[in-house]
Amino acid sequence: MRISTALALLAATAAIACGGADSVTGNNNNNNNNGNTDVTTTVNELLAEINSSANAVAKGSGAGGAANLLPVRGLNLSAYSASTPHLATAGALFDQAPDNAAVCIVDSTKVLWTCPTTVDPQSDTITVAFQFLDTENVPQLHFDTATTASIRRITDSHYAKTTQVQTMAGPEQDFQVDTQHNDVVLSGILTGNHQQNGTGHIIHTIYRSATDTAFITAPTTTSGILTSSKVPYPVGGSYTAVVHTIEGKSNSTTTQVTSFDGTKTAKLVITFASPGVTPRTCTYDMTATTPPTCTGGTPSGPP
């Protein structure tokens, strides 16, 4: 089961020479790159920034946050409490996405760059495309250091696999199908004040050998996440997943918000729609592998 632990950026080999007719820098320097022949490096840094924010959110998985796809079996979803904060969570789009623009090919009709399909160590099939936008959000065929204001990246992933999981009733074999989509725009390229905004969705189905099938869906929102190539984690903004789970006759909803305050410490707050359960608040170091520290998520009164 994927819990997004393999989040290192891809080091793909360049397949298209920088400055060529099909490179991100344009053809024969017919754009305003001011003699810069290494624009691909700049584009790669921008793509890596989007990866870094996804990585930062993924580190909250140990708190049962939006990166965790490990539901606890055999419990009533409408009445879960502190010991099962991750019961109805689905993963944000943390699949490893290429950050090497040189391996991607332009579609001049769609004004879109498409990258080779990849399969990560967790057997996710990942497709990535990106687009350059000017100050009016008009797509550009190539990156222009004088006029490109934003970069948009669209990522889709899919996997289907059989997994062995440990449940409260003992080992169980599940068949899981997962599809995810994320569409993020990193703006502020011309000013240097980089900000990420976008939306996505998750559809995750767990077919169980002994209990009811679980259907997990979650719309996601990236809101004002501030990043830079100088700091390997976000310094502002938030990521929200509103997670809905249906299992048999039970259903539940959690709202999960990961926020950043300029330090290396991120905060995840999980609010339960079920009555009588206090919010769960977790903090974790985005630069370390230590597990999050959490409080709350306990019943506030009689069940």
Cα separation of the two ends of the chain? 31
Note the pLDDT of residue 77. 31
Write the CB contacts of 198 (distance below 8 Å, at least 6 apart in sequence): 182, 183, 184, 185, 221, 222
Average the pLDDT over 13-34 and give the result. Answer: 40
- Give whole-number Cα distances, 278 to 31, 118, 184, 274, 299, in Å: 56, 41, 32, 9, 6
Residue 141 or 123, more confident? 141
Comparing C-alpha atoms, which of 178, 196, 165, 158 is closest to residue 55? 196
Residue 211 or 225, more confident? 225
- Read off the amino acid at residue 296: G
Average the pLDDT over 55-68 and give the result. Answer: 65
Q: Is the pLDDT of residue 83 over 80?
A: no
Q: What is the residue whose two structure tokens read 């926020």? A: 259
Q: Is the pLDDT of residue 130 over 50?
A: yes
* CB 65, CB 258: distance < 8 Å: yes
Query: Can you read off the two tokens belonging to residue 273?
Result: 């729609």
Q: Is the pLDDT of residue 3 over 60?
A: no
What backbone torsions phi and psi does residue 122 show, to the nearest 5 degrees?
-95, 10
Average the pLDDT over 89-118 and give the result. Answer: 75
Comparing C-alpha atoms, which of 254, 218, 260, 213 is closest to residue 238? 260
* CB 53, CB 46: distance < 8 Å: no
Stretch among 41-50, 76-85, 162-171, 253-262 having the lowest mean pLDDT: 76-85
Write the CB contacts of 303 (distance below 8 Å, at least 6 apart in sequence): 79, 276
Give the chain's mean pLDDT.
76
Q: What is the residue whose two structure tokens read 């310094």? A: 235
Query: What are the DSSP calls for 77-91, one per residue?
Result: GGG--TT-TTTT---
Work out the pLDDT band at 220, boundaries 50, 70, 90: very high
Average the pLDDT over 3-23 and give the result. Answer: 29
Work out the pLDDT band at 300, boundaries 50, 70, 90: low
CA dihedral 23, 120, 175, 208 (to 10 degrees): -110
> In whole angstroms, what is the distance from residue 41 CA to residue 265 CA?
28
Note the pLDDT of residue 47. 93
Comparing C-alpha atoms, which of 18, 7, 91, 15 is closest to residue 50? 7
Note the pLDDT of residue 273. 86
Residue 292 or 64, more confident? 292
Tell me: the pLDDT tens digits for 167-208?
Answer: 666 777 888 888 999 999 999 999 999 999 999 999 989 887
Write the CB contacts of 252 (distance below 8 Å, at least 6 apart in sequence): 77, 78, 80, 87, 88, 244, 245, 272, 273, 274
Comparing C-alpha atoms, which of 41, 54, 37 is closest to residue 99? 41
Average the pLDDT over 233-246 and give the result. Answer: 93
Comparing C-alpha atoms, which of 180, 203, 90, 186 is closest to residue 133? 186
Q: Is the pLDDT of residue 16 over 60?
A: no
Note the pLDDT of residue 73. 31
Q: Is the pLDDT of residue 110 over 60?
A: yes
Q: Give the ranges where the chain is alpha helix by DSSP (H).
A: 39-58
> How many Cα neighbours within 13 Å face the side chain of 45?
13
Residue 141 or 124, more confident? 141
Q: Is the pLDDT of residue 8 over 50?
A: no
pTM above 0.75, yes or no: yes
Integer-rounded Cα radius of gyration of the chain:
21
Kindly tell me the sign of the dihedral angle through the C-alpha atoms of 105, 12, 94, 248: positive
